[in-house]
Amino acid sequence: MNIGILSKRNTMMAGKLKECLENKGHTVSIYTLKNLIINYTLLKNDFCILKSKGLFFLYAGYFLEANNIPVIPKPQISFMQKNRIQSHFLMKRIGLLTPEIYLGTAETFRNQLDLNDFPFILKPIMGSGSKGVRIIRSYEDLKVENNAILYLENFIKGIHYNVYFIDNEICTLIKPPLSHEHVNMEKIETPDDIRNLIKKWKNYFTGDLLFGHLDIVREEASNKLYVVDPGSFPEFTNWKCKISPVDSICKLILEKYENLKKNKIINGL
């Protein structure tokens, strides 16, 4: 098969997936910003893997789907996890706890936020992980030169978890607050309430969410779990469970494509 990988880079997870799939006899092309053109040349692929949630790669995913080329994970699922406003209301719809959010300009916040509400977490509206994330402890921290719309979340004080999942395997780690995926983390046994939360999250997508991660905080005061960030395709840098993440993800993606192809034939499409 011809398989495309839409990725910001051709190393790390994307490179490992390419090697794994090529070892299984497939022809694999990685499309980065240096060589990605959204046109008919993408249609040579039997299917594509959407590794990056960057908007240009999401656009390529939508283009492929419009031309009946399967994309795994689906672009819409990746977009819902890229856009923090969408992911916030999605998690509320599913019934997961997530911090309250505030949208407005810096001036609006200065006029209306109560000093007792601090601290907040400032995050880019489009993004995931820790990039561009910082803590806001006072009005002085809201230094923005224009009238850009800012996204603030309530700061949840407690234990921060990075929780990976690949199919039914869950790897739970304690992480430093506001840190990125690649810092050193301590693996723990997955508590039952985290396992149930992951199950609830996956079940909503009815088989389309093969792997991913959630950043979760266990609130100190209440012991409740708050989801503060979802991720559709992490690097799995801190994966510390028995199975190989690369081999398992390759297997799941190939099985998903075969099932999609089978259903397409059955439905006469």
| CATH number for the domain harbouring residue 45 | 3.40.50.20
In the prediction, which pLDDT does 186 show? 96
Examine residue 234 and state whether it is found in any structural domain, yes or no. no
Please identify which residue in the block is written with the tokens 């407690």: 158
CA 268 to chain centre: 33
For the chain, which ranges sit under pLDDT 50?
none
Does 239 map to a domain?
no
Total domains, the chain: 2
* pLDDT value of position 115: 65
- pLDDT attached to residue 63: 98
pLDDT of residue 146: 74
Query: Is 130 within the bounds of a domain?
Result: yes
CA 47 vs CA 3, 4, 33, 201, 264: distances in Å: 5, 7, 19, 25, 13
User: Distance (Å, rounded) from C-alpha 242 to C-alpha 248?
Assistant: 11
Cα gap 144→32, rounded to integer Å: 32
User: Is 53 inside a domain boundary?
Assistant: yes
Note whether 58 and 110 are same-domain residues: no
- Residue 145 is predicted with a pLDDT of 66
68 and 13 assigned to the same domain: yes
Among 154, 173, 198, the domain boundary falls at 154
- In a domain? residue 173: no
Which strands sit side by side in the sheet containing 71-72, from one edge to the other?
27-31, 2-6, 47-50, 71-72
Give CA angle at 134 (133, 137), nearest 5°. 150
* Residues 6, 44 within the same domain: yes
Cα–Cα nearest to 84, from 162, 176, 149, 156: 149
Are residues 110 and 54 part of one domain? no
Residue 261 within any structural domain of the chain = yes
Residues 91, 85: Cα–Cα separation, whole Å: 10
86, part of any domain: no
pLDDT of residue 265: 61
Residue 125 lies in domain? 101-154
Q: Report the phi/psi class of residue 28: left, alpha or beta, with left for phi > 0 and alpha for psi in -120 to 50.
A: beta
> What one-letter code names the amino acid at 43?
L
Establish if 21 belongs to a structural domain: yes
Q: Are strands 27-31 and 2-6 parallel, antiparallel or unpaired?
A: parallel
